[in-house]
Structure 1
Amino acid sequence: MSDTTPASGTAARRLGVPDLCLVVLIGTTGSGKSTFARRHFKPTEVLSSDFCRGLVADDENDQSASGDAFDVLHYIAGKRLAAGRLTVVDATSVQPEARRQLVRLAREHDVLPVAIVLDVPESVCRERNAARPDRAGMGAHVIPRQRRELRRGLRGLQREGFRAVHHLRGTDEIDAAQVVLERRYNDLAHLTGPFDLIGDVHGCARELETLLTSLGYEDGVHPAGRTAVFVGDLVDRGPDSPGVLRRVMGMVAAGSALCVPGNHENKLGRLLHGRNVKLTHGLAETVEQLERAEEAEPGFRERVRTFVDGLVSHYVLDGGRLVVSHAGLPEKYHGRTSGRVRSFALYGDTTGETDEYGLPVRYPWAEEYRGRAAVVYGHTPTPEASWINNTLCLDTGCVFGGKLTALRWPERELVDVPAERVWYEPVKPLAAGAAGTDSAPGTAGDRPLDLADVQGRRVVETGQHGRVAVREENAAAALEVMSRFAVDPRLLLYLPPTMAPTATSAEEGHLEHPAEAFAAYRADGVARVVCEEKHMGSRAVALVCRDAGVAEKRFGLPPGAGVTGALHTRTGRPFFPDAERTEQVLARVRDAATAAELWEELGTDWLLLDAELLPWSLKAGGLLRQQYAAVGAASRAVFPGALAALEATRTRLAATAPAVPPVAGTDPEGATDAGTGTDPATALAALLDRQRERAADAESFSAAYRRYCWPVDGLDGVRLAPFQLLATEGRSLAGEPHDVQLALLDRLVAQDATGLLQRTGRLYVDTGDDASVAAGVAWWQEMTAAGGEGMVVKPLQALVRSGEGRLVQPGVKCRGREYLRIIYGPEYTRPENLTRLRSRYLGHKRSLALREYALGLEALDRLAAGEPLWRVHEAVFAVLALESEPVDPRL
């Protein structure tokens, strides 16, 4: 923007323009609108009718294309306004109909239309057009006609709907003008708090003072600099509306409070302006109280009128993370300015129906809310403050005998004080207005994902890995699993990521070897890693609540369900077909957590664990029977007979072979096999050796998978090996160092008296120390030689980035030689097979592992931050969708 003043010395005129609005430049052809737009606005902010005419007709002066050109202009302007971007229309706009369409467009997108009129003498316009060859064919009548239309419409611009009109007269005033972008009144995103948001007071002055004292305020000021934010309805029904107004007005004037208007302030304001309003719903009591206050304090009514007139419909606070209005506000209205936005902020919306008490039925906008900003409001009294999809109603009916409630932000802590008495009998019993149950933010009262949240191509923003895209076809596959087979979605808070294998080894006889894992982490700058025993079981996520009441209150389960958590697979399916066995597992983990005093130490009533459930056959019984056992059975059926036949053949061949002296150039044993130069006995011996090796490989294959299978009876024989504590109330632990995590889990396992819980073995390795690396390799060799699956190598600090800022793999699996026989087949260790398998492509698997890991972290972060369940599910669902990406299942 230009801050220069022209040589003529004309005083600069400041043109205030909201930072989100529709600016309409109005002026005749040649008045300098395009030059003005270039000087004061970004090129991308300006939409020129001439340019749009050129888009549709290849000629900016083809007036026959004007209709199509303005269709294009209005379409682009609508898209910009919908995205919250300042938009400037550079067209003559001297005709009322042209302006009417633009005002309508601004209203559709709930932004203010602002007019800037460039009023230039006709002679200047003629001179400028004469200097432009493209305007040579313009008729002499055009400019006079446009000037007449402009003059006729000047006085009525505000009546047409323009909120602000800047009329610039003459070229000097136009050249001296300075456009200044102004923050919208409702945009206080630069204020980051902390805040104390206070629900509907309704004249309950003593309860307000008690609550302010509980929050730490001293005579309306908080010593720690906190700001109170009142959600409206300060007046009516209660015993001392003037007292409430006096306190709130004083705090606002002192800068220690903000306030948005409620519908009761709006009605009071109209009365104070002399409007004819009905003295109902407690207004009559307020009028009497104000009359007494005016007698004691002359001018009080005028100060109240001024205060109410200055209240803004809603505020956007804390970098856009918090929105405050009286009756709530859908996301599309956040930061917008229009009569429609103000009406919703004051009154909400109704379905058009009335309930049994004759009151309007409120439209449940909060149930459909999907915005990232928390919306805090009042208006509809409820027994308890209840989070629903990241929205919170703070009206807990103080004036009706309930309580006065505040929300501490960003702590998300609720503070309340009880009403001293029932000050006003409600038409509708307070309990009947409940919007939900008392709950922690983010789960109870929320709806899980619906179709609109997951259909089509999705992009999920993650804090650790940027934007992660989900293909439409993968989302459809995930929706099928989640809707038909998954556990109760209210308990589905996390899905573990896939894990990438270590780089392919060149070590003789090995496809995977820990040396590559240590070298890769060393290259990424990771000095310390932990090697964790890889249990051959099935990945399990356990949500363990302290009792059924916690599951009901925190996760929104129906009362009396008797459910204390969940135990599910990597794809969200319940591990056990019957709920009884699930509850038995959860009870044993819960008892161990109680004995280990983890509830108190971690300050939580629930734990989210990542674990392995053993034996493998518990979940993979069908896979074992159909794929692995079938191979073993076939080999046992075929190889003994084949080997016996080959042995018998060799015996017969040896008994019948003639004793012929060797011939020069032949096999020392005598005659050669025709065409091959090989003695038949030698060929038979080689065949027999190969078949014996194949039989031994097949037996090794069967022995490999049998190690991970054993019979179970109920929970007898079942083992649960936790290796990571993912989250507790208000806290994601996924980024905590692994040694800290494992120490907590060791205490949990040690307190299990039932034998269910199994410790995860581990070894810490310094990647830059050859002796430490050798010890890690030896530990892996010892484990795998004893039949173990292998190990997982992880950075000790858990969440790590490389020197280039790249997210490092959270763990790589290094599987043993014999375990890989299950994966790649009985004969994979033959040199020719190993050579072929070493060309396996790991890039996609590694990418998938990182993306799923980032999504898992995002789900846990959102859960810890108290975000609504649909936001947690967005990341969880994306993990499940990515599992449908085509990747070699053996990796």
Structure 2
Amino acid sequence: MRQLLTSIETPELGLVVLCGASGAGKSTFARRHFTDTEIVSSDQCRALVGDDETDQSVTGAAFELLHTIVDKRLELGRLTVIDATNVKAEDRKSLLEIARRTDVLATAIVFDLPLDLCLERNSSRPDRRTPEHAIRRQHASIRRGAKQLRKERFARVYTLGSAAELDSIEVVRTRLWNDRRDDAGPFDIIGDVHGCHVELLALLEQLGYDTTADPIVHPDGRRVVFLGDLVDRGPGVAEVLDVAMSMVDAGSALCILGNHENKLSRALAGRDVKVTHGLGESLEQLERRSPEFRERVTGFIDGLISHYVFDGGRLVVAHAGLPQRYHGRSSGRVRNIALYGDTDGETDEYGLPVRYQWAQDYRGTAAVVYGHTPVPDPEWVNNTICLDTGAVFGGELTAMRWPERQMVSVQAEREYYEPIRPLEAEVEPRLPRRLDISDVLGKRRIDTTLAGRVSIDADRSSAALEVMSRFAVDPRWLVHLPPTMAPVAASKRPDCLEHPDEAFAYFRKAGVSEVVCEEKHMGSRAVLVFASDAAAALARFGISNDDAGVIVTRTGRPFFSEPGLTGALLDRVRLAADAAGVWDRLGTDWLVVDAELLPWSAKSAELLRDVYAATGAAGAAVLDAGRRLVSDAMGRGIDLEALATRTTGRAEHLASYVDAYRRYCWDVDGVAGIEIAPFQLLAAEGEVLARRPHKWHLEQIDALIEQAPDVLRRTDRRFVDLSDGGSVQAANDWWYSLTQGGGEGMVVKPAASVAHAKGGLVLPGVKCRGRDYLRIIYGPEYLEPSNLERLRQRSLGRKTSLAQREFALGIEALDRFVANEHLHRVHECVFGVLALESEPVDPRL
């Protein structure tokens, strides 16, 4: 007699197929245990395509729709329940094919209720009834085919045989074995050990584990994650297994299956396997241990799975790596790829399989850590990294600390096994990371850590693409564009449009207690992206031009058109970095630097000549002629005193305007005369430095400037305690001295660099410009009372929003680049900044 079921287990990600005749209670069961969006009903699909769920003439179209919905849901990782009769094997076959294609487990729930009950329920339906002969046929089909379901590749089959059982059953959602998203570590992920017991103990000690304890544990509760291939080739296979098994049993380690464990397990089970690639060493060493130990090893390997997903989906570990579409999935294909990599049967000149270089095309957000194919050094490629550094071949045994992403290695005592292929031959040249126009076109929604989701309109995306395709530097250099900067709110003081009071009030209201006021230079915004040398540029950016770097404008264009000028400037910055010890101090061989490049005329000579100088010359000519005419008329006795005064005042305004823009121009001869005023180190290897406080940045930059004062200009600054009236007044006085002496003004920033308030992200900085400089922006006579009053009504809302969104995108781009994500993920943010720049905002703000 069949034992009654009390519960049914369904995976959180998978396909659930309900099988049974009409009237068996499938729809009622589905609604009771699953959400409406999880259920895909054949009746509902008939209604969607034919307006009538009983219209059998549209069944073909309805099931075509049903299969499409199922395919998309499973592709997106959603549990999907099929509410249809599914009594024929051919009906179930198409659904199982979708499950196979999307690498999910399929569960069948069979409703084998008595025929009389199905007929009774059908007859009592008020809305629709299935013909009795159809129900009899369906019931007979499910009775005949129920025993075949287990042969149809269903992972689980449950049979419900009575109404009581149907009413009392509980559906339990279970996670797949590989789903450990709620486990954030911290972990120490160790690459292929291959029997190197001495090296394993040395590495564990270096990682801080107590190797004298049994089992080995970490005093701070860290855990090891073994990437598989513990066995074969090395002299301490049994000892390594002993360490790993005891740590796993104690909860201080996790382990995934490697291809060598898989083969060893088959050999221990008496299967016919080729004793190659070090398997003989494992079998020989295990033969010297007790049968109980070998049995324990067999059970341990049998319990290992192909991969794990950790830390909210941010970390995936798989022995041979795993493309994004297989993360958290379960199928034979996923297992094979996780163990062996993606191969097509071809072999190289060493007789080893040629594996698809999946990491070069990886676009996932999860970091994938793997081993399997030995490399001389671990290197991040598109947010993936291989930790097999060939310890058994005389290389190193490597671990990575997570979430720190810090590498720790120990050198092998000797070469225990001669590699078939030299380690150097394993290194594949880094290919250009592919970009696709579809990555940046159309309406975009970009998730950022600082400001949530940022939307980019389709027409703005097109505008950005136009600029990028025609003018931008090589995209591999383009990892950041700086945000626009909003001005302070209009001042209420009668003699100025902008004043520091409003800047301090903004940050005080946002809850910022300390700000830094930095001198605003008379130049153009520039971003320096460069490496310490050509080899470092090639390794990190996948490119090395003659300059091993670029200097770009806010729109990603090369700052200079003159050949050699960029390289000459970057060489001087590199020498300064060398002398100041920046590379060693930051542990990097590349930098991204935010700066101002002077003079303004170095980039905007044409603008100065054709717009500002032309305006000054035309105004001077008109006013000179006007003054002569007024003077002649007054000489004839006509009273034009008021007009003469007004004309003289306009001439003075114009003279101040000309003086203002002339301060931004001086002659340069190649590098001579050009100055770079760096004010923030944005990123280096392993860290987005832009999140560090401004005081740290200015200290680092001052050290650089000391080494190259001829090309690097210091940015003067004042730190201000907003609760201290004296500190605020001193900053106001400094601003007056700057602007009265012809300076542009200052930028006020939160001392902490990144700040949040209840209303969202605080602006990274606001500019407060001086009276004379604003003549360039608003015209010679903007200080006339009527003009000034009109300008006080300027709206800053759109500009402020733009600055916040662009800042969030700029930091997000750096986050993704530093995390070694695929270049398209970085460019999504860079394009976003450029796209936002095409929004209609008053360019004078």
TM-score by length of 1: 0.87
Return the offset for 1:688.
4.8
CA displacement 1:74-133 (0-9 Å, x = unmatched): 222222212211111111111212211211121121111101112211121122222212
Matches of residues 320-359 of structure 1 in structure 2 within 5 Å? Answer: 320-350=313-343, 353-359=346-352
Q: Is residue 840 of structure 1 aligned with residue 832 of structure 2?
A: no
Q: For residues 818-867 of structure 1, what are the alpha-carbon distances to aligned partners after superposition, in whole Å with 9 as ceiling and x for unaligned?
A: 21221122333334433443443322111110001111222333445555
CA distance in structure 1 between the aligned counterparts of 2:453 and 2:290, rounded to whole angstroms: 59
Distance 1:837 1:68, change over 3 A: same
Which residue does the alignment assign to 1:221?
Answer: 216
Q: Over aligned residue pairs, what C-alpha RMSD do you find? A: 3.0
Q: Which amino acid aligns with 1:475?
A: S
Contact 1:730 1:866 in 2 (8 A): no
Q: Which residue of 1 aligns with 2:66?
A: 73
Choose which of 818, 834, 838 in structure 2 pairs with 1:880. 834
Alignment of 1:665-814 (within 5 A): 681-682=638-639, 687-749=643-705, 751-752=706-707, 754-767=709-722, 773-802=728-757, 804-814=758-768
Q: Is the contact between residue 458 and residue 469 of structure 1 (CA under 8 Å) also seen in structure 2?
A: yes
State the one-letter code of the partner of 1:13.
T
Aligned residue number for residue 569 of structure 1:
553
- Could you tell me how far 1:466 is from its partner in structure 2? 0.3
1:457, 1:845 → 2: CA distance? 21
C-alpha separation in 1, matches of 2:507 and 2:692:
18
* Alpha-carbon separation, structure 1, partners of 2:822 and 2:131: 63
Distance in 1 separating the partners of 2:417 and 2:457: 56
Say whether the 8 Å CA contact 1:588–1:752 is kept in structure 2.
no
Within the candidate set 254, 257, 277, 2:253 is matched to 257
Say whether the 8 Å CA contact 1:544–1:589 is kept in structure 2. Answer: no
CA distance in 2, matches of 1:569, 1:563: 16
> Letter of the aligned partner of 1:884 in structure 2?
S
Tell me how far apart the structure 2 counterparts of residues 142 and 553 of structure 1 sit (CA, whole Å): 68
- The answer as to 2:243 corresponding to 1:247 is yes
TM-aligned CA deviation for residue 297 of structure 1? 0.9
**Secondary structure class of the residue paired with 2:526:** strand
Residues in 1 aligned to 2:125 and 2:708: alpha-carbon distance in whole angstroms: 93
The one-letter amino acid of 1:166's match is: Y
Are the equivalent residues in 1 in contact too, given 2:693–2:752 (CA < 8 A)?
yes
Q: Residue deviations 1:405-438, cap 9 Å, x none?
A: 22222222223333444444433332111135xx
What is the DSSP-based 3-state SS (H/G/I as helix, E as strand, rest coil) of the residue aligned with 1:388?
coil
Deviation at 1:366, TM superposition (A): 0.5
Q: In structure 2, do the counterparts of structure 1 residues 644 and 430 end up closer, same or farther at CA, with 3 Å as the change threshold?
A: same
CA distance in 2, matches of 1:536, 1:874: 31
Matches within 5 A, 1:862-881: 862-865=816-819, 867=821, 869-881=823-835
Report the AA paired with residue 458 of structure 1.
R
* Aligned equivalents of 2:508, 2:414: Cα separation in 1: 68
- Taking the aligned partners of 1:164 and 1:341, their CA distance within structure 2 comes to 19
Matches for 1:20-169 after TM superposition, within 5 Å? 20-136=13-129, 138-169=130-161
Greater shift, 510-519 or 616-625, is seen at 510-519
CA distance in 2, matches of 1:507, 1:208: 71
Counterpart-to-counterpart distance in 2, 1:621 and 1:701: 17
The whole-number CA distance in structure 2 between the counterparts of 1:486 and 1:524 is 36
Change in CA separation of 1:874 and 1:135 when aligned onto 2, cut-off 3 Å:
closer
CA-CA distance at 1:776 after TM superposition: 4.1
Alignment equivalent of 2:811, drawn from 850, 854, 857: 857
Mapped to 2, the partners of 1:737 and 1:274 lie a distance apart of 63
- CA contact 1:78–1:109 (8 Å) conserved in 2: yes
1:658 alignment counterpart: none
Aligned partner of 2:303 in structure 1 is: 310
Unaligned runs of 5+ in 1: 1-9, 437-443, 655-680
Aligned pairs (5 A) from 1:74-473? 74-136=67-129, 138-217=130-209, 218=211, 221-224=216-219, 225-290=221-286, 292-293=287-288, 296-350=289-343, 353-435=346-428, 447=433, 449-473=435-459
Deviations 1:316-373 (A, max 9, x none): 1222111111221111100001122112112211356443334432211110101111
Partner of 1:505: 491
Counterpart secondary structure, 2:308: strand
Residues 388, 445 of structure 1: 8 Å contact kept: no
Higher Rg? 1
The one-letter amino acid of 2:247's match is: M
- Tell me the amino acid that sits aligned with residue 211 of structure 1: L
Deviation at 1:753, TM superposition (A): 5.5
Q: What's the CA shift for 1:649?
A: 4.3
- The answer to whether residue 601 in structure 2 is matched with residue 617 in structure 1 is yes
SS in 2 for 1:59: coil
Distance in 2 between residues matched to 1:753 and 1:109, nearest whole Å: 58
Change (3 A) 1:878 1:448: farther
Contact map agreement 1:448 1:873 (CA 8 A) in 2:
no
1:223 and 1:621, CA in 2 relative to 1: closer, same or farther beyond 3 A? same
Cα offsets for 1:212-264 (capped at 9, x unmatched):
34434415513233322222233334445444434333333333322222223
Contact 2:525 2:554 in 1 (8 A): yes
Distance change >3 Å, CA 523–CA 287, structure 1 → 2: closer
Q: Separation in 1 of the partners of 2:685 and 2:260?
A: 38
- Is 2:602 aligned against 1:629? no
Q: Is the contact made by 1:588 and 1:754 (CA closer than 8 Å) also made in structure 2?
A: no
Instruction: Calculate the TM-score normalised by the size of structure 2.
Output: 0.92
CA distance in 2 between counterparts of 1:462 and 1:245 reads 43
Mark the CA change 1:619 to 1:126 in structure 2 (over 3 Å): closer, same or farther.
same
**Aligned with 1:797: secondary structure?**
coil
Read off the aligned partner of 1:78 and give its amino acid letter.
D
Q: Which residue in the other structure is 2:632 paired with?
A: 648
3-state SS of 1:610 partner: strand
Shift of 1:614: 1.5
SS of 2:556 mapped into structure 1:
coil
Amino acid across the alignment from 2:479: L
Where does the alignment leave 5 or more consecutive residues of structure 2 unmatched? none
Partner secondary structure for residue 400 of structure 2: strand
Offset of residue 882 of structure 1: 1.9
Instruction: Name the SS of the counterpart of 1:695 in structure 2.
Output: helix
Displacement after TM superposition at 1:489 (Å): 4.2
The change in CA–CA distance for 1:317 and 1:579 in structure 2 (over 3 A counts) is: farther
Change in 2 beyond 3 A, CA 1:582/1:44: same
In the superposition, relative to structure 1, how do residues 265 and 452 fare at CA in structure 2: closer, same or farther (>3 Å)?
farther
Q: Give CA deviations for 1:138-175 in whole Å, capped at 9, x if unaligned.
A: 32212221110011111111111111001122112222
Evaluate the alpha carbon distance shift between residue 484 and residue 431 of structure 1 in structure 2; reply closer, same or farther with a 3 A threshold. Answer: farther
The separation in 1 between residues aligned to 2:421 and 2:753, in whole angstroms, is: 54
Structure 2 counterpart SS, 1:73: helix
Corresponding residue pairs, total: 839
Distance in 2 between residues matched to 1:280 and 1:739, nearest whole Å: 60
SS in 1 for 2:333: helix
Code of the residue aligned with 1:254 in structure 2: it is A
Give the fraction of aligned pairs with identical amino acids, expressed as a percent.
58
Determine the C-alpha separation between the residues in 2 that align with 1:287 and 1:123.
61
**Alpha carbons of structure 1 residues 311 and 766: separation in structure 2 relative to 1, 3 Å:** closer
2:691 match: secondary structure: coil
For the structure 1 residues 135 and 722, does the alpha-carbon distance in structure 2 shift closer, same or farther, using more than 3 Å as the test?
A: closer
